[in-house]
């Protein structure tokens, strides 16, 4: 049955979807302190300023809030710098550039709104004495800010079809500015690309996928350097994240609607071919590749949650061994009421049904990010209906980037 999805687990900016592992019953129904400019001593590299040798920080310890467009400048008056760190617990550490002779350090990444930064700088005076300085400043809070809900979570192991997906809680008008601050690296390296879309609820979303499925054992890192990024209209990002995850075994499943079978393979070797029953006429199972979103051992299936009423209405009560494939409600699950139809008749309302024992076996094989491809059906699953990314050819996918 095509069922209303269970809510995305841990749907927060820092906590993505996770697989359910325990039995559950889920109803599927900052003052500037003096402004530095290109002509100021702070921007010169001569270190020949009047006064005693010292490290000067701009902005300094002030009560007024620093605008997020301000650069941080640290100057060794009458000497040189040896180390500089400017950091905040949330946004992280600012990058910066050194002047010739290392008498001036200037930040090169934007400040995050509403953040308190600590400056720690060390150096030496021209006479050889040690210089050090610690200072703090706080930036202006953004009148409007955005965050991205990202998947998968840090430290997880996912399937070969799992994209990196970020959905934003505010409209992203300057998509290029945001995309420039997102980076995915992999070992071994892959050819990959970002592509923008609208999520099913209308929010701006960007996914990253490789040209082909990830290789098992690949280590992937997502870097989100969004703190201080203007997404357009004065909406600023606040996130600095480094998210590492790993690709597990290649568990791939192919459902043939005509043959009424599902063939499951692991790392290229066929494990089993199961007899299934898919969607009947007018309720056909989506064609194309879907990606496992979650698993729950028990769920209540009620057709009213997906808008099916009248003669086709159903309430199946608690259904076992449920593998969610789309937010619109496509599952692979046990369907004992269809006993006798598996491999013979397609009799569901869009889900992939099988015997209870086969459903339990399938449930135990698959994990978040594994692909399930349906062939010989109709109406290819939409790109934003879960992770339908693989139904877009590679050249078309790349055109979804906001960068040239």
Residue-wise pLDDT for 157-174, tens only, equals: 999 999 999 999 999 999
Residue 49 has pLDDT above 90, yes or no: no
Containing H/E element for 357? helix 356-365
> Across 23-32, 48-57, 169-178, 311-320, which has the greatest mean pLDDT?
169-178
Mean pLDDT of the chain: 86
DSSP classification of residue 12: B
**Cα radius of gyration (the chain):** 27
Choice among 30, 173, 333, 349 that is catalytic: 333
Choice among 30, 173, 349, 351 that is catalytic: 351
Q: Is 30 a catalytic residue?
A: no
Q: Is 173 a catalytic residue?
A: no
Tell me the C-alpha to C-alpha distance, in Å, between residue 233 and each of 50, 283, 338: 43, 43, 54
- Domains, the chain, ordered by start: 41-138 (2.60.40.3780), 143-249 (2.60.40.3710), 251-396 (2.40.440.10)
**Other beta carbons less than 10 A from residue 186's beta carbon:** 16
Is 329 in contact with 4 (CB distance < 8 Å)?
yes
Looking at per-residue pLDDT, the higher value among 113 and 213 belongs to: 213
Three-state DSSP at 352 gives strand
**Other beta carbons less than 10 A from residue 401's beta carbon:** 16
307: left (phi over 0), alpha (psi -120 to 50) or beta: left
For residues 22-35, average pLDDT: 32
For the segment 367-402, what is each residue's pLDDT rounded down to a tens digit?
A: 999 999 999 999 999 999 999 999 999 999 999 999
């Amino acid at each position: 049955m095509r069922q209303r999805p269970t809510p995305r687990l841990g749907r927060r900016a820092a906590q993505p979807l996770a697989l359910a592992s325990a039995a559950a019953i889920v109803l599927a129904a900052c003052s500037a302190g003096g402004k530095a400019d290109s002509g100021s001593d702070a921007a010169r590299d001569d270190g020949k300023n009047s006064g005693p040798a010292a490290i000067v920080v701009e902005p300094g310890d002030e009560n007024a809030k620093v605008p997020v467009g301000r650069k941080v400048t640290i100057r060794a008056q009458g000497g040189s710098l040896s180390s500089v760190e400017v950091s905040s617990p949330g946004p992280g550490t600012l990058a910066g550039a050194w002047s010739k002779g290392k008498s001036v350090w200037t930040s090169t990444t934007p400040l995050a709104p509403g953040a308190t930064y600590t400056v720690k700088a060390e150096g030496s005076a021209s006479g050889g004495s040690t210089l050090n300085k610690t200072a703090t400043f706080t930036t202006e809070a953004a009148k409007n800010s955005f965050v991205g809900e990202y998947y998968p979570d840090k430290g997880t192991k996912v399937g070969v079809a799992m994209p990196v997906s970020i959905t934003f809680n505010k409209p992203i008008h300057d998509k290029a500015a945001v995309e420039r601050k997102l980076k995915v690296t992999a070992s071994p390296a892959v050819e990959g690309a970002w592509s923008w879309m609208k999520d099913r609820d209308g929010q701006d979303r960007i996914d990253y996928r490789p040209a082909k499925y990830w290789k098992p054992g690949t280590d992937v890192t997502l870097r989100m350097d969004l703190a201080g990024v203007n997404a357009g209209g004065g909406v600023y990002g606040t996130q600095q994240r480094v998210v590492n995850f790993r690709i597990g075994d290649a568990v791939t499943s192919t459902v043939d609607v005509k043959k009424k079978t599902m063939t499951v393979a692991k790392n290229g070797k066929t494990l089993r071919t199961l007899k299934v029953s898919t969607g009947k006429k007018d309720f056909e199972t989506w064609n194309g590749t879907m990606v496992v979103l979650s698993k729950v051992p028990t769920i209540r299936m009620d057709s009213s949650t997906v808008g099916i009423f009248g003669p086709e209405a159903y309430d199946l009560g608690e259904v076992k061994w449920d593998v969610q494939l789309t937010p619109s409600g496509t599952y692979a699950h046990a369907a004992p009421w269809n006993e006798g139809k598996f491999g013979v008749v397609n009799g569901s309302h869009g889900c992939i049904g099988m015997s209870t024992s086969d459903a339990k076996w399938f449930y135990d094989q698959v994990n978040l990010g594994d692909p399930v491809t349906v062939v010989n059906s109709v109406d290819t699953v939409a790109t934003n209906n879960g992770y339908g990314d693989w139904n877009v050819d590679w050249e078309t996918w790349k055109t979804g980037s906001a960068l040239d």
